[in-house]
A and B are shown apart, each in its own frame.
Chain A
């Protein structure tokens, strides 16, 4: 049981480049979400999804796109990377039932130079 898998674990991008952070879960969870973690800021919600084909914005969505074509995958796209997007990114999933906990991936450390 792999849980929530994020790839890559580390990435360096140049300003203006695009890339996709991958997130996959094998637990058949309905809810998935992306957070970014910055020093002194905690984790802030970027986008979330409540099921295949359904996504919505969180607290800090600008500069990021998501899609949810399958239950398992929830990729996060940076269309034109900026230094302000240097951060650690976490993907999380949980079942759609109310009384459940979230499972987190190991995180992706992204540096934009």
Chain B
């Protein structure tokens, strides 16, 4: 079974600064997908960014980027120019490519953004 570990229960960043959220995972698969989801107080699960394991290039979406280290099984999320609206729970998730019917989630990191 695949496991996803987020070792930072809480993180804090000042507005306009950069913060990195950590995620490691364990798998014996060679091809899979990794995701970062944002959950604001509204409870809605919002996809922030995703990475396909066979792509060596790190995914980016505006102020959000990842550092994908496949050999180290590490998938960190970097948020640049942090905004108050970035405050939320962030979940790292894994999905197998073959027979990957659902997601495996980490326990989440609560991000606080201070003015």
Q: Which residue of B lies closest to A50 (CB)?
A: B101
Answer whether residue A106 sits at the interface, using C-beta atoms and an 8 A cutoff.
Answer: yes
Q: A101-B47, A101-B50, A107-B43 are in contact. Are A43 and B101 (CB under 8 A)?
A: no
Q: Is there contact, CB below 8 Å, between A43 and B9? A: no
A90: interface (CB < 8 Å): yes
Asked if B91 is at the interface (CB within 8 A of a chain A CB), the reply is yes
How many B residues face the partner with a CB closer than 8 A?
A: 23
Q: Does A45 contact B (CB under 8 A)?
A: yes
CA distance A105 to B109 in the complex (A): 21
* CB-nearest residue of chain A to B99: A50
Judged by a CB distance under 8 angstroms, whether A19 is at the interface is no
Encode A53-87 as 1/0 by CB contact (under 8 A) with B. Answer: 00010100000000000000000000000000000
* Total chain A interface residues with beta-carbon distance under 8 A: 24
Nearest residue (CB) in B for A38 is: B107
The answer, yes or no, to whether A110 is at the interface (CB within 8 Å) is no
From 1 to 46 in chain A, residues with beta carbon under 8 angstroms from any chain B beta carbon are: 31, 33, 35, 40-45
The residues of B with any CB-CB pair to A shorter than 8 Å are 4, 6, 9, 33, 35, 43-45, 47, 50, 52, 91, 97-98, 100-108
List the 9 closest A-B pairs by CB distance, nearest first: A104-B45, A42-B105, A42-B107, A43-B105, A33-B102, A48-B102, A107-B43, A45-B102, A48-B101
